[in-house]
Amino acid sequence: MSERRVTMADVAREAGVSPTTASFALSGRTDMRISDASRERVLEAARQLGYRPNVTARSLRTKSTQTIGFVSDRITTTPFAGDVIRGAMEAARERDNLLFITEAGGDRAAESSLVHALLDRQVDAVIYATMFTRYVTPPKELFGRRVVLLNCLAPGFDAPSVIPDELEAGRDAARALLAAGHTQGIWAIGGHQAVPATPEGIIAGNERMRGLEEVLREGGARLDGVIECDWDTLDGYREVSALLAAGTRPRALVCLADRVSFGAYQALAEAGLSVPEDVSVISFDDQDIASVLRPALTTLKLPHYQLGRLAVELILRGGPLDPIVHRVPMPLRERSSLGAPAGN
Amino acid sequence: MSERRVTMADVAREAGVSPTTASFALSGRTDMRISDASRERVLEAARQLGYRPNVTARSLRTKSTQTIGFVSDRITTTPFAGDVIRGAMEAARERDNLLFITEAGGDRAAESSLVHALLDRQVDAVIYATMFTRYVTPPKELFGRRVVLLNCLAPGFDAPSVIPDELEAGRDAARALLAAGHTQGIWAIGGHQAVPATPEGIIAGNERMRGLEEVLREGGARLDGVIECDWDTLDGYREVSALLAAGTRPRALVCLADRVSFGAYQALAEAGLSVPEDVSVISFDDQDIASVLRPALTTLKLPHYQLGRLAVELILRGGPLDPIVHRVPMPLRERSSLGAPAGN
DNA sequence: GCATCTTGCTAATCCGATTTAGCCGAGCGG
DNA sequence: CCGCTCGGCTAAATCGGATTAGCAAGATGC
């Protein structure tokens, strides 16, 4: 694209040395002796001419493009996951790397084709990411390659995974509930989300529930009930409405996702119940909506930014990528939806 | 990254021809005569060996990397703008191009550095995008380059712009209002948004308001008032509450952004007013929240996907990029917040 | 005083493609 | 029978760097 760039040959000519000398001077390598005077002249010429190395040309020889590929199912589309990309991007930037972002939309063929497009461009590594935490089998083109799995697990596939610590988040939700004094009338809305159609629950739902029940039990409390439903606003609204209509009067709702909480808020409002005076709500995810809901939602944040950042950091650390599962903490965002239990 | 790739030399050897012949056979060029037999053998050998051209190496000679750079202020972060990237990505994919996605966070120095990183990698073109429609001055590194401005305008900068058709959207909002029978008691919340701190309004606010007032006037109606405030949930809540507290009873609210509508909903609910029976609401943007609000919000959609797609299409069309402003329609999403005016 | 090191630098290759220049043999006109 | 054209193909150069091999001059060792 337009006007010829200054090349190393230009710099060498300007400095009156050979391209070899220019190369060594510019890369700062010391295994070839260059006099201070020559080095200075090269550096000065480079500055003068505004020389910038052609990364593409260099990579032909060095095999390193300072470029990472990012393939996901539909991560850019999901409202909150832009943070994953931002985390990855910023970590990459700090080490002069750039990201190719791609999205396969869940289509295996598209996925393979994208991975090929990435490999054709000689990316140094590939991040294979999913929108929801789940098990995956990466495309075969990725076998034997430098890969980090982001937000997913692939047993038997030789690559590290970076996922949110859902188990500990479940425990933290229980701890927050107990700390506020809740021991009874606690309902979980959304449940394990073991619905095949929405695979997110396979990991997130199970672990959140497990951690929750574990700590509740240890604290001498327990769940009055678990309502299994899809993790969306409509289901949250419907299920909580039904629960209230059936005469149940919960004191605390653990919504397995913010979308569910939003539906629950609508159902509670319609029933004339206020949060947190009548019913406390604690949730998971910390989507944008959580902070603008009234009252603002207390929730365990999915650490998207950190997830993206760590994935890139593992790659840029250099050395082999050990197939370890890295669990990133989900911080509790304490806002206003969790209060003391309503008096009897 | 790992195991040596099959090169064209391998294919040529396998087919028993020179690399030159292999190159011409594979690229399908006809300006050099290759016998059908040779061509077939090359193609067969390539298939056999699973040959894929090294795009990086090729670009060294051809100057085309089939790669587009994308620089934005903070577009990945904004909840709804993932669609811009998706639109751009998909359009790129259709033509075997890939996108480098970067984000400068509004920092000029970071912006320059990112553009350099992009140019060092020989991108064929750069998309310069902003989160909100506004005027910009692109970094000097972009002058004379192949650039498309996305969601922004830069008078005097020689590049096409792709922006939403805010003016027509304002008109459409007015038309929808008139069609529903509204002619009085109409208030605009959010106004022109000419607040220096939030530059989004510079274009969007002014044009939406202009289109709105123009068509309202033509229809024999007018705005009872315009409340200038920030385009966020809290301001929407505050301003509408204040309006109602002052004894005003609007029949229709034109909220200049969905975030404002959400705040307005909260204020109306607290005042015991229902949508759309007591007060109609029409809005702009169509963020995710618009469809899960109760009642679902009627709004003019910001065409993010189309914006991203068109930007890439302009680039891949080939030929010079004329400095034209392309306005993409904002479709009306009719849902349930707009009804007939409340009876007197 | 001659062999051996250093020091400081350059020529030549290589990376994996594309592209230009040109070679060789067959067919053809004269 | 000679010179030309043309079909089919290859050698070599090129793109912009990194890297290996090696060379010349001065310093040092003995």
What would the pLDDT profile of A101-139 be if each residue is shown by its tens digit? 999 998 999 999 999 999 999 999 999 999 888 899 999
* Distance from the Cα of residue B17 to its chain's centroid: 49
Q: Could you tell me the distance in Å between the CA of residue B27 and the C1' of nucleotide D3?
A: 36
Q: Identify the pLDDT of residue B133.
A: 86
Interface of B with A in 278-297 (CB under 8 A): 288-289, 292, 294
Q: Two tokens at A327?
A: 């669990």
Cα A8 versus chain centre, distance = 40
B62 touches strand C (CB under 7 A): yes
Q: Assign B290 to helix, strand or coil.
A: helix
Query: Which residues in range 62-81 of chain A are in contact with strand D, contact meaning CB within 7 A of any of its atoms?
Result: 62
Query: From CA A23, how far away is CA A27, in angstroms rounded?
Result: 6
Residues B160 and B170 in one domain: no
Model pLDDT for residues B210-238, shown as the tens digit of each residue: 999 999 999 999 999 999 999 999 999 99
Q: Given a cut of 70, is residue A38 above it in pLDDT?
A: yes
Residue with tokens 């590594």: A125
Which CATH number fits the domain that encloses residue B145? 3.40.50.2300
Residue A192 forms part of a structural domain: yes
pLDDT higher than 80, residue A56: yes
B residues 15-74 near A, CB within 8 Å? Answer: 52-57, 59-60, 63, 65, 67
Contact assignment for B2 to A292 by CB distance below 8 Å: no
Q: Cα(B312)–Cα(B324) distance, rounded to whole angstroms? A: 15
In this structure, chain A runs to a length of 344
Answer yes or no: is A118 CB < 7 A from strand D: no
Q: What single string gives the DSSP state of each residue in B132-181?
A: EEEE----GGGTTS-EEEEEEE-TTSSS-EEEE-HHHHHHHHHHHHHHTT
Residue B51's H or E segment, with its range, is none
Please list every residue in chain B whose beta carbon sits closer than 8 Å to the beta carbon of residue A110.
93
Best mutation target, A288, A305, A321, to test chain B (most B CBs within 10 A): A288
Strand D lies under 7 A from the Cβ of residue A35: no
- Judge whether residue A19 contacts strand C, using its CB and a 7 Å cut-off: yes
CATH number at residue B34: 1.10.260.40
Compute how many other C-beta atoms are within 10 angstroms of the C-beta atom of residue B134.
19
Residue B198 and residue B252 share a domain: yes
pLDDT category of residue A4 using cuts at 50, 70 and 90: confident
Kindly state whether residue B1 falls inside one of the protein's structural domains.
no
Q: Is the CB of A20 under 7 A from strand D?
A: yes
Count interface pairs A-B at CB distance under 8 A.
Answer: 145
Handedness of CA B71, B77, B80, B85 (dihedral sign): positive
Q: What are phi and psi of B149, to 5 degrees?
A: -90, 130
Provide the pLDDT confidence category of residue A301 given band limits of 50, 70 and 90: very high
Torsion of CA B249, B252, B258, B264, to 10 degrees: 10
B35 touches strand C (CB under 7 A): no
Does the CA dihedral B148-B154-B160-B161 come out positive or negative? positive
**Proximity of residue B27 CB to strand C below 7 A:** yes
| Residue A217: inside a domain | yes
Q: Which of A53, A68, A85 is the last residue of a domain?
A: A53
Helix pair A204-218, A166-179: axis angle to 10 deg:
40
Amino acid at the residue B306: Q
pLDDT of residue A193: 74
Chain A interface, best mutation among B56, B123, B261, B321, by max A CB count within 10 A: B56
Angle at which helices A19-27 and A36-49 pack, to 10 degrees? 90
Residue range of the domain that includes B214? 166-303
Average confidence (pLDDT) over A300-318: 97
Task: Give the gap in angstroms from C-alpha B60 to the nearest C-alpha of chain A.
Answer: 6
With an 8 Å Cβ cutoff, is A322 touching chain B? Answer: no
B122 touches strand C (CB under 7 A): no
Q: For residue A331, is it within any domain?
A: no
Confidence of residue A337 (pLDDT cuts 50, 70, 90): very high
Q: Do B241 and B319 belong together in one domain?
A: no
Interface of B with A in 134-153 (CB under 8 A): 144-146
Please tell me the distance in Å from A96's CA to the nearest CA on chain B: 8
Q: Which residues of chain B have pLDDT under 70?
A: 1-3, 79, 194-202, 344
Give the burial class of A182: count Cβ atoms within 10 A of its Cβ; 0-12 exposed, 13-18 middle, 19 or more buried.
buried
| Residue A30: CB atoms within 10 Å | 8
Contact A85 B65 (CB under 8 A): no
Nearest CA in chain A to B73: A86
Among A75, A80, A74, A76, which Cα is nearest to A302's? A80
Alpha-carbon radius of gyration of chain B: 26
Spatial contact of B216 and B179, defined as CB atoms under 8 Å apart: no
| Claim to verify: residue B267 and residue B153 sit in the same structural domain | no
Q: Work out how many domains chain B is built from and give that number.
A: 3
In which region does residue A16 sit, left (phi positive, over 0), alpha (psi from -120 to 50) or beta (all else)?
Answer: left
Q: Which residues of B touch A77 (CB under 8 A)?
A: 82-83, 86
- The distance (Å) linking the CA of A154 with the C1' of D2 is 75
> Per-residue pLDDT for A196 more than 60?
no
Q: What is the four-CA torsion angle of A247, A251, A256, A258, rounded to 10 degrees?
A: 100
Q: Is the CB of A25 under 7 A from strand D?
A: no
Task: Give yes or no: residues B310 and B256 share one domain.
Answer: no
Residue B337: inside a domain: no
pLDDT for A195 equals 54
Are A170 and A291 found together in one domain? Answer: yes
State how far the alpha carbon of A178 is from the alpha carbons of A191, A216, A340, in Å. Answer: 19, 7, 10
Nucleotide nearest to B33 (CA to C1'): D8
Cis peptide before A295 (omega within 30 of 0): yes
Residue A245 has pLDDT above 90, yes or no: yes
Q: Looking at the domain assignment, is residue A229 inside a domain?
A: yes
Task: Please indicate whether, in this complex, the C-beta atoms of A76 and B82 are within 8 angstroms of each other.
Answer: yes
Q: Does A216 touch chain B (CB under 8 A)?
A: no
What is the rounded average pLDDT of the residues A185-211? Answer: 80
Beta carbon of A122 within 7 Å of strand D?
no
Three-state secondary structure readout of chain A: CCCCCCCHHHHHHHHCCCHHHHHHHHHCCCCCCCCHHHHHHHHHHHHHHCCCCCHHHHHHHHCCCCEEEEEECCCCCCCCCHHHHHHHHHHHHHCCCEEEEEECCCCHHHHHHHHHHHHHCCCCEEEEEEEEEEECCCCHHHCCCCEEEEEEECCCCCCCEEEECHHHHHHHHHHHHHHCCCCCCEEEEECCCCCCCCHHHHCHHHHHHHHHHHHHHHCCCCEEEEEECCCCHHHHHHHHHHHHHCCCCCCEEEECCHHHHHHHHHHHHHCCCCCCCCCEEEEEECCCHHHHCCCCCEEEECCHHHHHHHHHHHHHCCCCCCCCEEEECCCEECCCCCCCCCCC
Q: Distance, in angstroms, between B222 CA and closest chain A CA?
A: 32
Distance of CA B85 to the CA centre of its chain: 8
The CA-atom distances, in angstroms, between B285 and each of A60, A329, A339, B41, B118 are 45, 34, 35, 56, 31
- pLDDT value for B202: 67
pLDDT on residue A75: 78
Q: Which of A26, A54, A55, A56 to mutate to test the interface with B (most CBs of B within 10 A)?
A: A56
B18: nearest nucleotide, CA–C1' criterion:
D10
Structural domain contains residue B243: yes
pLDDT of amino acid B123:
98
Cα four-point dihedral sign A211, A217, A223, A228: positive
Task: For residue B101, give the nearest of A99, A288, A292 by CB distance.
Answer: A99
- Rounded Cα distance between A135 and A145, Å, is 19
Distance in angstroms: CA B56, C1' D10:
25
Is the torsion defined by CA of B49, B50, B56, B61 positive or negative? positive
pLDDT over threshold 80, residue A89: yes
**φ, ψ at B121 (rounded to 5°):** -95, 15
Local structure of B81: helix, strand or coil: coil
In a domain, B86, yes or no: yes
pLDDT value at residue B343: 73
Q: Are residues B313 and B271 both part of a single domain?
A: no
- Compute how many other C-beta atoms are within 10 angstroms of the C-beta atom of residue A322: 9
* CA separation for the pair A120, A102 (Å, rounded): 14
Angstroms from B293 CA to nearest CA on chain A = 9
Percent of chain A with pLDDT over 70: 95
Mark B194-208 as b/e (b = at least 16 C-beta within 10 Å).
Answer: ebeeebbbbbbbbbb
Greater model confidence, A230 or B242 = B242
Q: Is B274 on the interface with A (CB under 8 A)?
A: no
